[in-house]
Amino acid sequence: MQALPKVLLASQPDGLRKALRRRWAHLRRASQWRRGAAIAFAVLVTLVTAGLVFRSPKPLMRTTSPRDQPLATVHHGFLPPAQFERVSRISNAQIDGALDADTLDGYISGWMVKFNRRGLERVRAMELYADAVPYLEAVLVNESNAFVLNTVVAKEPAPGADAVNAHFDNTVAIREQGIFLAHQVNVLYVSLPDRMEGGQLEVWPMEFEDSEYGKAVIHPLENMMVEFRGDAGHRVRGFRSPSGGKRVSLVLEQYRIPRSSYGNTVDFCQGQECMEEVV
């Protein structure tokens, strides 16, 4: 902004000239501030776009799945017959601290246990979960340090309904605000209803919000293991079967909690008590 023209000042009374000078100085300062703010904002946008501004150490949602990790991979005949038989026993077992169907969707029941690396040793040593250990060891990711192991026993839903509604896995037991998405999820299909129609697992990248674009649709088979990204959205389609049987799977959610937050994870809890642990 240029100086106030002298010819304009000369034509005004003395009092008005002083007022004009003060107003002009104020406008110059305001103009300079706005110009500086605009430049600062442009620089900030550039830095954020370039990834040079660090994120908050505790963002609202945290994801650790590698960018190059496939959306989903399928492994047929995953466990040897003897180990699969053991896993089948515990997947259909009634364990104290079982999930209430209202905790998940109305068509689901099962048991659940949550633990961190310290609690993992406890799970390995417990007779109660001994039959699940072969599966646990087979899918364990070295860098994961917190886990949710549960069975999903799905009954035939109402017509047009999903057996498991669309969701992300973020159920790690941690006494800290924020959303921690799983690092990786592993699903083992334990038993399926005879002549089941439907019941497919749908998995999609989180950025597409349940779009058909990039979605994987997986038809389950017994002793098939599906491994998918922990930040992927997923659901289970509704199904029908003349037998009225249930669709049973054993799920391991694996989390990679940062060192700064790991001390807030729960060592070990089962079922409903996990909700009390994180209140």
Each residue's pLDDT tens digit, 177-216: 889 999 999 999 999 999 999 999 999 998 876 667 789 9
**Across 234-242, average pLDDT:** 94
Higher-confidence position of 278 and 138: 138
**pLDDT band of 32, cuts 50, 70, 90:** low
**pLDDT band of 277, cuts 50, 70, 90:** low
Each residue's pLDDT tens digit, 82-123: 999 999 988 777 665 455 444 455 677 888 999 999 999 999
Q: Is the CB of residue 238 less than 8 Å from the CB of residue 154?
A: no
User: How far, in Å, CA of 146 to CA of 120, rounded?
Assistant: 9
User: How far, in Å, CA of 87 to CA of 17, rounded?
Assistant: 92
Residue 4: partners with Cβ closer than 8 Å, 6 or more residues away: 20, 21, 24
**Across 56-72, average pLDDT:** 82
User: How far, in Å, CA of 2 to CA of 28, rounded?
Assistant: 8
